[in-house]
Structure 1
Amino acid sequence: MSTTGAHVHDDGAAGPPRTGWWWWTRRRGFLLDASLAAVSALECAFEGGTFAQKTGIMPGAGALLGIVVGSVLLLRRRWPVAVVLVGVAVSPAQMGFLLSLVGLYTLAASEVPRRITAALAAMNGLGTMLVAFLNFEDSLRGSTDGDSMSVPLTLIVSALMALGLTAPPVLLGLYARARRRLVESLRERADGLERELELLAEKALERAERARSDERTRIAREMHDVVAHRVSLMVVHAAALKAVALKDPQQASASAELLGDMGRQALTELRQMLGVLRTASEVVARPAPVPVASGGSAGSGDAVFMGAAGERTEGAGAGDTCADADTVGGPCLAELAALVEESQTAGMGVELTVEGESRPCGPRVEATVYRVVQEALTNVHKHAGGAKAHVRLAYREAEIAVLITNGPSDGTPTTPLPSGGHGLLGMRERVTSHGGGFAAGPTPDGGFRVSVMVPAPAV
């Protein structure tokens, strides 16, 4: 930016050009400058006429020159350097007092580099001191006691006068410039904080919407897990009841009683889940990045149990490992044996194997593993009639793993059951919400496997 073309605001401060009439953005700024220029023109006209009369020049020419010089003050906001230079140039003619004061203030308050401001202020001060010194010398020559005042004293008085006419407007302009910068900085900071608050509010709304969506998904998943397994078993038993109703009344009676028990269990689980939804105030879990599931691709699911601690215990229950599961209203690993027994009662050949020493793993982790096994057995009931299944549960030092496999169907007809296709997706969401790994797919022999690993340090 050119130092002679710095745009100055209405308060005498420089800044980027703004729309308005010429370089004035407000009418009051124009009126102020016009008033100052008029006063300065009158002053310079009087001083110019007086100086011309002393030097033998036509007073009218001096007054006209003074009007032109004083009117330069109208340009102070646009070219403050030029105004100060004009004031320095006419200082030997002892004119432009107001012009110099206002010009120095505007220059110091503008965005002109400070070294230029200091140089022009020094030039103005030096010119004022020389003019004052010459005036004092001329006055002393005509006085009778001229010898009583020495030259050093005259220099000191001249310097003090120059300092008094130069320093105050410069310091006042520097103060106005610093204050304006501070106000602009505070305004920018306030605008930045306002923008940050708006962004935070938008993010809060997004998080709330995401939380509502996650909660809806969780409720749908819970409803699916609770209803699908029980209803699938009830449908299987209803088909069996229809087949033996006339041939074996005693077996039909037992099946009917079992259907009633399953219906009551389904209602009980639904009531428990709805009670949790009404009263629980837990934070919605955020899905974590899905790590690569142990066991690799389909057909290598047994690799998930490589190096498991402890001995294998065929057909053993998981033990009482979730004493505090009721705090969240969900099932626990201690109920896996009963879950497997229900499938066995429905005619499925299913076996439970537990590896490692059972331990509490936290109610949420245990409920997740239980629901995965439950959904996997439900899928066997739906899609692989007569197939044998194997549930393998392994306790490790910092995780718990489960593998559910089933062989191909033996051709036994199955009762058609509705399926929304969300079973595997729901299992994956449950597992990844704990930062675990999930893998599912067909096996080489035509069966299917589900492999799960969930971090579960000892509680």
Structure 2
Amino acid sequence: MTSTGEVEGRAGPPMGWTRRRDAVMDVTLAGVSAVECAWEGVSFAGEAGMPAAVGMVFGLVAGATLVVRRRWPIAVVLVGIAVAPAAMGFLLGVVGLYTLASSEVPRRITATLFSMSLAATFVVMYLRTRGDVEADHTLVISLSGFVAVALTVPPVLFGLYMGAWRRLMESLRERADSLERELSLLADRAEERAEWARTEERTRIAREMHDVVAHRVSLMVVHAAALEAVALKDPPRAAKNAALVGDMGRQALTELREMLGVLRAVPKPVPAAAAAAVAATAAAAAPAPASFVAVASVVGPDEGPSLGELEALVGQSRAAGMVVEMVVQGEGAAYAAEVEQTAYRVVQEALTNCHKHAPGARVVVRLAHREGEVAMQVENGPCEGQEDGVGLPSGGNGLVGMRERVLGLGGVFVSGPTEVGGFRVSAVLPVG
């Protein structure tokens, strides 16, 4: 087991060296330990009656084992315990115990080897001081115990501290990497949301342009066709139709200028607290309300038509020659701006479709104020004129736009032909 936290037996750097300075330090310690053990080996050989060369070689080999302390700390400690009776390996024992305690070796093995090293050091010190100290037996035991504790406990405690510190640093690095990955994912998600918001905004702008241009221009085409038909036969009526065409054109230009003005306006800075609240609300909201937040980002809630302008809208269709009946049920109330705008646009687009596809048909516009909701319905009877009307083009986006508006507010939208050959558009919007 290594002091760098590698598990023994697991593949890793040779000798557990992850940096060049680790190799330099271990080789240096092993060299110093080998010299120390060789010097002490000569003394041991003299006491044991062996040649000095044998003791020197034995000391060199034993001390040099310190070079593998990161890879096999258990083996280094065992060698230190084995040479303890020969009174050699001071540096080997201290560094070996430190390395063992700072590694990821199971604590029960560390405790066992520490106990063995403590006992071996105590026994060697007791045997060597028993005949040298002229004192009682208690003093010898106390001195031996003190030396044994001084040589084994500090390196173990320091090793445990360094091991815990390394594990803490590794945990902090892993946490930092995890946070970096999370931030990267959040950035990617924010970019996806921004792209989604841009797409929603483009769709909304296209829908607004379609509603404004299609309705006004459709009425202008209807009046222009009527003007062409009566220009020579009925000059007063032709003049009236010409004036209506001019009014419609001016209204269309006014609405387009208002929309372009909003698009070109410099956005006001939003306070940080308000921005955080809006972000939290949008993140927690359902997809439908969240889409409306994107829709309302360009055109403010107080800009645009309302239900109070439906009478004028129906009046414009009547002026164009359409037979329109408007029926209102229930007491009106002040609804949210987005609800009134959506209701107005649904009726407007439905009337535009009647001009395009059902010229001469009788149209009924129904508006019902109910508890918690407002409902609108535009129904035309069978077409009494030409099927193509006055040649008004159709892009096929009218019903799609109405459905998107209504569903964006959590409402219900239904459209389809009637049994008598007409067409019906119905929508219900919640107002809570």
Q: Is the 2:310–2:344 Cα contact (8 Å) retained in structure 1?
A: yes
Aligned to 1:299: none
For residues 85 and 354 of structure 2, the distance between their equivalents in structure 1, rounded to whole angstroms, comes to: 109
2:396 is paired with a residue whose SS is coil
Aligned to 2:275: none
Distance change (3 Å), C-alpha of 1:15 and 1:408: farther
For residues 365 and 117 of structure 1, the distance between their equivalents in structure 2, rounded to whole angstroms, comes to: 74
Q: Is the 1:241–1:252 Cα contact (8 Å) retained in structure 2?
A: yes
Q: Cα distance, 1:23 vs. partner?
A: 3.6
For residues 398 and 257 of structure 1, the distance between their equivalents in structure 2, rounded to whole angstroms, comes to: 42
Q: Which moves more between the two structures, 325-334 or 102-111?
A: 325-334
- What TM-score comes out, normalization by structure 1 length? 0.83
Q: Is the 1:44–1:96 Cα contact (8 Å) retained in structure 2?
A: yes
Distance change (3 Å), C-alpha of 1:351 and 1:288: farther
Are 2:309 and 1:335 aligned? yes
Q: Cα distance, 1:280 vs. partner?
A: 8.0
Aligned to 2:6: 15
Q: Cα distance, 1:21 vs. partner?
A: 5.0
Distance change (3 Å), C-alpha of 1:258 and 1:190: same
RMSD (Å), alpha carbons: 2.4
For residues 19 and 165 of structure 1, the distance between their equivalents in structure 2, rounded to whole angstroms, comes to: 31
Q: Cα distance, 1:247 vs. partner?
A: 1.7
Aligned to 2:152: 166
What is the aligned counterpart of 2:407 among 432, 441, 450? 432
2:384 is paired with a residue whose SS is coil
Q: Is the 1:288–1:433 Cα contact (8 Å) retained in structure 2?
A: no
The one-letter amino acid of 1:228's match is A
For residues 378 and 348 of structure 1, the distance between their equivalents in structure 2, rounded to whole angstroms, comes to: 11
For residues 13 and 167 of structure 2, the distance between their equivalents in structure 1, rounded to whole angstroms, comes to: 22
Q: Deviations over 1:370-402 (max 9, x none)?
A: 011000110111111222221111112211111
Q: Cα distance, 1:211 vs. partner?
A: 2.1
- Count matched residues: 408
Structure 1 segment 173-188 matched on structure 2, within 5 A: 173-188=159-174
Distance change (3 Å), C-alpha of 1:87 and 1:28: same
What is the aligned counterpart of 1:229 among 200, 215, 218? 215
Distance change (3 Å), C-alpha of 1:275 and 1:31: closer
What is the aligned counterpart of 1:73 among 66, 70, 75? 66
Are 2:255 and 1:269 aligned? yes
Aligned to 1:310: none
What is the aligned counterpart of 2:79 among 61, 81, 86? 86
Q: Is the 1:336–1:370 Cα contact (8 Å) retained in structure 2?
A: yes
For residues 19 and 276 of structure 1, the distance between their equivalents in structure 2, rounded to whole angstroms, comes to: 64
For residues 266 and 63 of structure 2, the distance between their equivalents in structure 1, rounded to whole angstroms, comes to: 82
Would you tell me which structure has more helix in proportion to its own residues? 2
Q: Cα distance, 1:85 vs. partner?
A: 0.7
For residues 249 and 100 of structure 1, the distance between their equivalents in structure 2, rounded to whole angstroms, comes to: 119
The one-letter amino acid of 1:352's match is M
Aligned to 1:356: 330
Q: Which moves more between the two structures, 55-64 or 72-81?
A: 55-64
1:90 is paired with a residue whose SS is helix
The one-letter amino acid of 1:262's match is M
2:132 is paired with a residue whose SS is helix
For residues 56 and 428 of structure 1, the distance between their equivalents in structure 2, rounded to whole angstroms, comes to: 106
Are 2:392 and 1:406 aligned? no
Aligned to 2:430: 455
The one-letter amino acid of 2:376's match is V
Structure 1 segment 46-125 matched on structure 2, within 5 A: 46-125=39-118
The one-letter amino acid of 1:455's match is P
Q: Cα distance, 1:365 vs. partner?
A: 1.2
2:377 is paired with a residue whose SS is strand
1:403 is paired with a residue whose SS is strand
The one-letter amino acid of 1:395's match is H
What is the aligned counterpart of 1:423 among 384, 391, 398? 398
Distance change (3 Å), C-alpha of 1:216 and 1:394: same
For residues 202 and 321 of structure 2, the distance between their equivalents in structure 1, rounded to whole angstroms, comes to: 35
Aligned to 1:139: 132
Aligned to 1:31: 24
For residues 333 and 117 of structure 1, the distance between their equivalents in structure 2, rounded to whole angstroms, comes to: 83
- What TM-score comes out, normalization by structure 2 length? 0.88
Q: Is the 1:399–1:455 Cα contact (8 Å) retained in structure 2?
A: yes
1:139 is paired with a residue whose SS is coil
Q: Which moves more between the two structures, 282-291 or 68-77?
A: 282-291
Q: Cα distance, 1:67 vs. partner?
A: 1.2
For residues 117 and 191 of structure 1, the distance between their equivalents in structure 2, rounded to whole angstroms, comes to: 32
The one-letter amino acid of 1:218's match is R
Q: Is the 1:288–1:434 Cα contact (8 Å) retained in structure 2?
A: no
What is the aligned counterpart of 1:393 among 352, 367, 370? 367
Q: Which moves more between the two structures, 28-37 or 82-91?
A: 28-37
Distance change (3 Å), C-alpha of 1:110 and 1:290: closer
Are 2:101 and 1:127 aligned? no
Aligned to 1:196: 182
Are 2:235 and 1:249 aligned? yes
Q: Percent identity between the aligned chains?
A: 58
Q: Is the 1:20–1:26 Cα contact (8 Å) retained in structure 2?
A: no
Q: Is the 1:357–1:395 Cα contact (8 Å) retained in structure 2?
A: yes
Aligned to 2:294: none
For residues 156 and 312 of structure 2, the distance between their equivalents in structure 1, rounded to whole angstroms, comes to: 92
- Structure 1 gaps of 5+ residues are 1-5, 141-145, 292-324
Are 2:344 and 1:370 aligned? yes
Q: Is the 1:273–1:329 Cα contact (8 Å) retained in structure 2?
A: no
Q: Which moves more between the two structures, 371-380 or 360-369?
A: 360-369
Q: Is the 1:290–1:436 Cα contact (8 Å) retained in structure 2?
A: no
Q: Cα distance, 1:279 vs. partner?
A: 3.6
Q: Which moves more between the two structures, 12-21 or 128-137?
A: 12-21
